[in-house]
Amino acid sequence: MRVLVLGEFRADRLLPPLLRAGAEAVVLGFAPRLAPFLAASLGADVLCGELPAALGEQDVPRLLAHWRADVAVPNTGCPGQEQFLPLYARAAHQWRTTERHMPVHPEGFAELVSDKVAFQRTAEERGWPVPRGVVCGAAPAVRAAARELGLPVMVKEARSEFHAGRHYVRDDGELGRACAEVAYPVLVQEALAGEEYGIEFLSDGSPGSPGSPGSPGSCGSCGAFGAMTVAWPVASLGRLDAECAPGRRVRVAPAALPAHVQAELAGTVRDMTDALRPHGPWQMDFAVTDEGRLAVIELNGRLGGVSNMSWAATGADPHLAHARSVLAAPAGGLRAGPPPPRRTALELPVLSGTPLPPAPEGTGLILFPGSPANPGPLVGGYSRPVLTVPEGREEAALAWLRGLPPGTLLNSPREAAGQLARGTRGLREAGPLVLGPRQAPEPDPNPEPDPDPKPGLTREGS
């Protein structure tokens, strides 16, 4: 079986289950020197090729044919690749046979997570909680929307990705510059004041799959949702700000939510999965405003930076879970969600190359340096190591944070201490999102262990 991975994002974490199953893996990406990196990381040679920077409707079938793929796996976490998802969805529908398949979100969901305008319209139609917003096709409409909503506002290009195409506008001067720079149509939204959160999912929502409504295995508690969607713990991304760069803040998982927000979030996810049947990994960014209101900021049809905390907190790596779901498709589906969080995972942005002292006894430190499969630190100039803190080791972790030399963290030690306290509280209080009364699937009786940081160990991830 030849598995073609479309995108290099954390391929060193996606590939191991595929290689152990005897698959011949091929990875297409933007990054140079990807093959030597994967060979050194995995201890096995992996064939790599270039993923074109631009793809059209006929290019994807040609790629699949050229590389003689039996299974194709969209892996769109790197900048510039997220907009390929609708193309992959359309190609999968035409390419799929009894001998080959591409586990990918259906076209409707792929369009929704790739188009901010489409998401806003669908959210308003279905009653999902989103910020107030106005779709605009030209500069005069943007100015009118800003007057209606009141400054500050967010101006987002329909096809924007996490690294470009969005503007936080505080005054008329910034509004004018945004109007001149954006590609229309755009979504103008109220700028929220509150706390930002993220949560990652893995879905097997194809018609007739295990977990589809009315079929055996549909579940609703312990982190599992409707048409078999499993969820990792909610992560706190810190307070919303004008930079709109949560990756530069101190982040932590798990995080507890107010009960009414947790219930509304579960209902929203249930409606999304029932209506759109996502198939593969996806992510939600949402806010809890200072007034206590839930607001879904955006959906992404991929895994992202939160997956490091998801892995560190639970010991279950979402990238490995994604690979295992690929091996199970099309018949097996998802069997179980991640276990409950075992420890607090505190993500600490530091300038790339900044040394950190060993983790205090009883805790762990996972480094995530830049690599061809994790280009963010190379591009942004900072990395995001994760300190793992089991219950009972909070004071040791707090002393470690306070003892860091000045300037080690991009953020203040006070912010880090506050997020550590939030994560400690979440470890004790945060429960799984509950969708309904039916039971979650039984845990895998023969689980394949994920790489797991041991207490006191400093190790590298990607």
Express as a percent the part of the chain with pLDDT over 70. 87
Read off the pTM.
Answer: 0.91
pLDDT of residue 345: 98
- The radius of gyration computed from the CA coordinates of the chain, to the nearest angstrom, equals 21
CA atoms within 13 A on the CB side of 423: 38
Q: How far, in Å, CA of 350 to CA of 429, rounded?
A: 29
Partnered with residue 201 across adjacent β-strands are 231, 282
Burial of 293 (0-12, 13-18, 19+ CB in 10 A): middle
Give the amino acid at 297.
I
CA–CA separation, 3 and 27 (whole Å): 8
Please say whether the beta carbons of 312 and 343 come within 8 A.
Answer: yes
Quote the CA–CA distance of 398 and 393 in Å, as a whole number: 9
Look at residue 205 and tell me whether its pLDDT is greater than 90: no
pLDDT at 210: 37
Q: Are strands 344-347 and 251-253 parallel, antiparallel or unpaired?
A: antiparallel
pLDDT higher than threshold 80 for residue 171: yes
Lowest mean pLDDT of 2-6, 103-107, 209-213, 323-327, name the range: 209-213
pLDDT at 161: 77
Supply the pLDDT for residue 439: 35
Q: Which two tokens stand for residue 64?
A: 């699949």
> How much is the pLDDT for 331?
47
Q: Which of 123, 309, 82 is nearest to 200 (CA)?
A: 309
pLDDT value for 162:
67
Give the model confidence (pLDDT) of 2-61 as tens digits: 999 999 999 999 999 999 999 999 999 999 999 999 999 999 999 999 999 999 989 999
Find, among 69, 83, 151, the residue nearest to 114 by Cα: 83
Q: What is the mean pLDDT of residues 164-183?
A: 95
pLDDT of residue 378: 82
Q: Give the per-residue pLDDT at 163.
A: 63
**454 band by pLDDT with thresholds 50, 70 and 90:** very low
Residue owning tokens 């990652």: 200
Q: What is the mean pLDDT of residues 188-198?
A: 97
In the block, tokens 């006070």 appear at: 414
What is d(CA 28, CA 59) in angstroms, rounded to the nearest whole number?
Answer: 14
Check the CA dihedral 116-119-125-130 and report its sign.
Answer: negative
Q: What average pLDDT does this structure show over 258-265?
A: 96
- In angstroms, the CA 189 to CA 50 distance is 37
Q: Tokens 């490995």, residue?
A: 320
Q: Evaluate if residue 63 carries a pLDDT over 70.
A: yes
